[in-house]
A and B are shown apart, each in its own frame.
Chain A
Amino acid sequence: MTYFQLFGISIPALWIAVLGTAFLISLKIDDWFGNALFIYVLVWKFSYVLFYWESILGLLYFNGGIKGHWLGLVSSAIYIILLAPKKYPSIKVQAGIVLLLYMYTFETIFNLLQRDFLFTIIQGGIACLILSLRKKLKLQWVILFFMIELLTLSLQHTLTLTKFFTFSMFIFISILFTIKERTNG
Chain B
Amino acid sequence: MVKKITSIVILAIAIVLVAFAIANAMYKKEKPESTEQAADFTLEALDGTKISLSDFKGQKVVLNFWATWCPPCKAEMPHLQNFHENNENSDVKLLAVNLTASDSVSNAVDFVDAYELTFPVLLDVDGEVGQLYEVITIPTTYFIDEDGNIVEKFIGALDEETMENIIDSY
**Could you tell me which A residues sit within 8 Å of B by CB distance?**
1-3, 5, 8-10, 52, 54-55, 57-58, 60-63, 65-66, 118, 121-122, 125-126, 129, 133, 138, 140-141, 144-145, 148, 151-152, 155
CA distance A58 to B16 in the complex (A): 43
The reply to whether the CB of B120 lies closer than 8 angstroms to some CB of chain A is: no
Contact of B5 among A122, A129, A141 (CB under 8 A): A141
Is the beta-carbon distance between B155 and A58 smaller than 8 angstroms?
Answer: no
CB distance from A80 to the nearest CB of B (A): 26
Residues of A within 8 A of B33 (CB): 1
Count contacts between A and B, CB distance < 8 Å: 82
Chain B hits for A52, CB < 8 A: 78
Chain A facing B: main interface SS: helix
Instruction: Say yes or no: A152 contacts B16, CB within 8 Å.
Output: yes
Cβ–Cβ contact A58 & B5, under 8 A: no
Chain B residues in contact with chain A, CB under 8 A? Answer: 5, 8-9, 11-13, 15-16, 19-20, 22-23, 27, 33, 71-72, 74-76, 78-79, 136-137, 152-157, 159, 161-162, 166, 169
Q: Once the chains bind, are A125 and B15 in contact (CB under 8 Å)?
A: yes
A10 contacts which of B75, B78, B156 (Cβ < 8 Å)?
B156
A65 touching B161 in the complex, CB below 8 Å, given contacts A60-B75, A126-B15, A152-B16? yes
Determine whether the beta carbon of B75 is less than 8 Å from that of A62.
yes
B47 to chain A, nearest CB (A): 25
Q: A2-B152, A8-B137 are in contact. Are A55 and B75 (CB under 8 A)?
A: yes
Across the interface, which residues of A come within 8 angstroms of B76, CB to CB?
Answer: 58, 61
Bound: A12/B44 CA distance, A: 34
A61 touches B156 (CB 8 A): yes
CB <8 Å contact, A144 and B72: no
A-B contact pairs, 10 of them (CB 8 A): A2-B152, A8-B136, A10-B154, A61-B159, A65-B159, A118-B19, A125-B15, A133-B8, A140-B5, A148-B13
